[in-house]
Structure 1
Amino acid sequence: MLSKKEIKILILEDEFLIAQDIFETVTNNGYINTKIANSYSEAKQVTQYWFPNIVLSDINLETCKTGIDFVTNMKNTHQNFEVIFISAINDKNRIKEAISFIPLGYLTKPFDEKQLNISIELAINTINAKINTISPELKHLSRTELKIIQLISKGYQSIEISQKLSVSEKTIRNHRYNIIKKLKLPAEKNNLLKWAMIHIR
């Protein structure tokens, strides 16, 4: 079970004052492990080594990349997070696209503090429920190892994983060895890939 102090929240918002308002609302409610990114590129940089449990994202950003683009990228590399969209857009197609991610909340600007806190609590309950139902074997893996095995289940090779996580291929091979050891997998070809394809969703 993750506590308020353990939950990591990323705020992706390009309007400085709104980002600060959201940050104050969140941290005043006890979620002290919170960071702000003001653009798609900054959000990608922040999440290279810091993996949020919850993403509070605007949809339209000042650059050509949107909050939806960032969430799509995150879904491809890091599945264990929940998203709450906070936006002022009224474009039905864009809203439909955002809802396709099944967010834990879709709040309109100006946002309501109580509604935001309720959405975050719902997201935390969902995250903790997933933790409680996780495969017993996976509970022994570190967060980095979990991310690696998720990428393996998608068919990524060690060199590709190393590029995505910005570490050396040797580091990935060491992680793979440790994962195999922790899962007590038999010594056979593609043993980790086979296991991941069956057990990782």
Structure 2
Amino acid sequence: MDPSIIIADDHPLVLKGLNDFLNENNYNVLASAKNGKEALALIKAHVPDIAILDISMPFLTGLEIAEKCKKEKLSTKIVLITFEKDEAIYNKAKSLGVYGYVLKEFALEEIENCIDSVTKNKSYFSPELIEHIKVSKAPENLNSLTKHEKNIVSLISKNKTGVEIAEILSISTRTVEKHKSNIIRKLKLESKQNSLLIWAKENEQFI
């Protein structure tokens, strides 16, 4: 079954180009929006499988929409399209559980692969972006983790909560939190919120 899609971009030509491309390729585009406020309203009304959002839009940015969707536990998977190759924005997107990050100059080339990956619950980030921010080298301290700890990190990278991880691995949530603390210590991460999630997303391909 084709995923239902909503798209949003404040540039009319970009929005039309993306909308036409998806429709020509028989994707199920439910609606389109020209600003962040409209996009969020459409997401809440339709709860599409995927929302393809420009990062920079009036009223609400793509990142702000992703944050609101996460807080309200909406099932829509967020894909961001942007010209930005900024590592801080990339990390923020990862921490919010964004599934896709496509650079606009490659949008029409990559969007089908991105949608295919996201539909299979796999994240997709433009190869050009990954190369640009140099996250393609496996971290040396990854080997310090046990197989069990790597399993937990892998589940974290898939946006699983502590409760969900406990259920999947048949352990208590307290044990999950203890493992997470050990992982943070071994990886020498900052103890601030989302540091482990960001690390897990960045290194997903090595786990």
SS of alignment partner, residue 14 of structure 1? coil
Distance 1:62 1:49 in 2: 20
* Residue type at the aligned position of 1:124: T
Contact 2:22 2:29 in 1 (8 A): no
Of 29, 33, 36 in structure 1, the residue corresponding to residue 29 of structure 2 is 33
The 5-angstrom pairing of residues 16-165 of structure 1 reads: 16-63=12-59, 65-126=60-121
* Residue type at the aligned position of 1:84: V
* TM-score normalised by structure 1 residue count: 0.55
SS of alignment partner, residue 96 of structure 2? coil
**CA root-mean-square deviation:** 2.2
Contact 2:6 2:50 in 1 (8 A): yes
Contact 1:27 1:34 in 2 (8 A): no
* TM-score normalised by structure 2 residue count: 0.53
Distance 1:97 1:47 in 2: 21
Of 6, 29, 33 in structure 2, the residue corresponding to residue 10 of structure 1 is 6
- 1:15-72: CA deviation from partner (whole Å, max 9, x where unpaired): 1110111111212221133311111211122233211110111111134x31111111
Contact 1:86 1:111 in 2 (8 A): no
Shift in alpha-carbon separation, 1:30–1:98, aligned structure 2, 3 A: same
Distance 1:48 1:83 in 2: 13
SS of alignment partner, residue 114 of structure 1? helix
* Residue type at the aligned position of 2:63: I
SS of alignment partner, residue 36 of structure 1? strand
2:195 corresponds to which residue?
Answer: none
The 5-angstrom pairing of residues 167-182 of structure 1 reads: none
Distance 1:61 1:123 in 2: 23
* Structure 1 position 97, deviation (Å): 1.0
- 1:171-190: CA deviation from partner (whole Å, max 9, x where unpaired): xxxxxxxxxxxxxxxxxxxx
Distance 1:73 1:119 in 2: 22
SS of alignment partner, residue 94 of structure 1? helix
1:180 corresponds to which residue?
Answer: none
The alignment covers a number of residue pairs equal to: 123
* Structure 1 position 96, deviation (Å): 2.0
* Residue type at the aligned position of 2:42: V
Distance 2:62 2:107 in 1: 20
* Structure 1 position 10, deviation (Å): 1.2
Shift in alpha-carbon separation, 1:82–1:22, aligned structure 2, 3 A: same
* Residue type at the aligned position of 2:109: K
Shift in alpha-carbon separation, 1:14–1:98, aligned structure 2, 3 A: same
Structure 1: gaps spanning 5 or more residues: 128-201
